[in-house]
Amino acid sequence: MEVERGSVDGPARPAGCPAGEAASGDPLPGRRSVDFPVAAVLPAGGCGERAGIATPKQFCAFLNRPLLSYTIEAFERVAWIEHIVVVVAKENLHQMMDIIQQFSHKKVTVVLGGSTRHRSIFKGLEAFREQSDGVTLRKPEVVIIHDAVRPFVDEDFLLKITVAAKDQGASGAVRPLVSTVIATTSEGYLDHSLERARYRASEMPQGFLYDIIYRAYQQCCETDFEFGTECLHLASHYCGTKAKLIEGPPTLWKVTYKQDLFAAEGIIKDMLSHNGCVVAGGCAPSVQLACELQKTLEARSMQVDVISGPPGSRAVLVSGTWNFIHIAVDSSCLDDMAKLVKTFQDSKHAVLYPVVLILVHLNLQPQCSVTERMRALGAIRSLATEAKHGNILLYGILLSRDKALEQWDESMENVAQIIAALVKDRNPGLVGQLLVA
């Protein structure tokens, strides 16, 4: 098997396209276009035994969303993938249908799996034959098989796998071995070790000409169905297909253990924290503070856009950003925030990823006591509670202007630090709190 080194550095970040919209799919210069039908099969029938948790790991949630939904989205946003067949166990069927509805997945067909991995994949492939209800999905020329618990796969690498499968009949992702593989004796002693440089770890995704992998499964024996796990082996053994192996990025790892769920959540949070949008009112102090925040936050490697005008404008959504800082200087700020919250709710911008919305109240009246200021903004908690139901995390920061230049610069650093922490952590425990910078 030939190994080709990939050039993909990491997963496409969630903000790559606005929620609910697919990427254009237009080929980049030098890339081959996909002008043939492509589909994906995601086996998701595992019980999560190795994770040591009661809920199968593909249905475990972080940021209020099941792991499986993140993987589905990675395929749905690829315009040239027509259908996604998700294979689940019978006991998880209703839960899967709820996920499709809640997160507005459009390309998904759900089928019931078998008792083993290979049986489930075969069931997924059979979905492109006539089904019991008379509905038939268009048979793809290339089918991609991918684990439901590998959410960080991007379009560039899927394209490499798809094109190689079209040309060679089969293709698969590989990664270098991290540890040396050894063989042991029956008594538990070292027998021998393998030369690590000669071997690779087989990963997903894998791509196949549909007719080849379907024919391979038709010829499988019971031993294959019961104990086999490697799809590329079936294509080679039963169809004589030589698979093209492509070295994939480190982000192709599989969520296997409980701690992997925390790692996946950390990656998603990190990807969501790179961009922000400052919404400034029309007054000069608000615009000035917005520009200062932009400069301070960008010094922390956060790309920030500044938008002036009505806070309810849908223009703030078109960038695909999930972090917004609204600057207010008077008591009408909560009305403005309520309009912004409604904008997110109406557009369903927070369906896939939680939106962070931070109110920075710039106090221009130094004679007001802290108690009076906090009382005036006390309603932020009720608004935050309502927003939280829509996956919108609303926080407040109080900033006073009555400071010397040196103190003001320090306050700006404090505000930027608080904003960066709120955006990165997305801590639901701080929702509705008013922080003083």
Residue position matching structure tokens 């080709």: 4
- Using DSSP bridges, classify how beta strands 275-280 and 303-308 pair: parallel, antiparallel or unpaired: parallel
What's the angle, vertex CA 108, arms to CA 259 and CA 119, rounded to 5?
Answer: 70
For position 23, what pLDDT does the model report?
43
Query: What distance in Å separates the CA atoms of residue 196 and residue 208, rounded to the nearest whole number?
Result: 27
Buried/exposed 383-395: b ≥16 CB within 10 Å, e otherwise: bbebbbebbbbbb
Between 132-136, 276-280, 328-332, the lowest mean confidence (pLDDT) is in 132-136
Q: Tell me the average pLDDT of the chain.
A: 86
pTM of the model: 0.86
pLDDT at position 6 over 60: no
Dmax over Cα atoms in the chain, in whole Å? 83
Residue position matching structure tokens 């309603």: 379
Residues 240-264 pLDDT 10s: 999 999 999 999 999 999 899 999 9
pLDDT band, very low/low/confident/very high, at 196 (cuts 50, 70, 90): confident
Please name which of 350, 356, 355, 358 lies closest in space to residue 377, comparing C-alpha atoms. Answer: 358
3-state secondary structure labels for all residues of 189-256: CEEEECCHHHCEEEEEEEEEEHHHHHHHHHCCCHHHHHHCCCHHHHHHHHHCCCCEEEECCHHHCCCC
Q: Rank 30-44, 211-225, 351-365 by mean pLDDT and report only the highest.
A: 211-225
Query: What distance in Å separates the CA atoms of residue 437 and residue 398, rounded to the nearest whole number?
Result: 6
pLDDT at position 24 over 90: no
Domains recognised in the chain with CATH numbers: 2-266 (3.90.550.10), 273-436 (3.40.50.360)
Provide the Cα torsion 420, 422, 424, 429; round to 10°: 160
For position 148, what pLDDT does the model report?
96
| Structure tokens that stand for 85 in this block | 């067949």
For position 142, what pLDDT does the model report?
98
For position 237, what pLDDT does the model report?
96
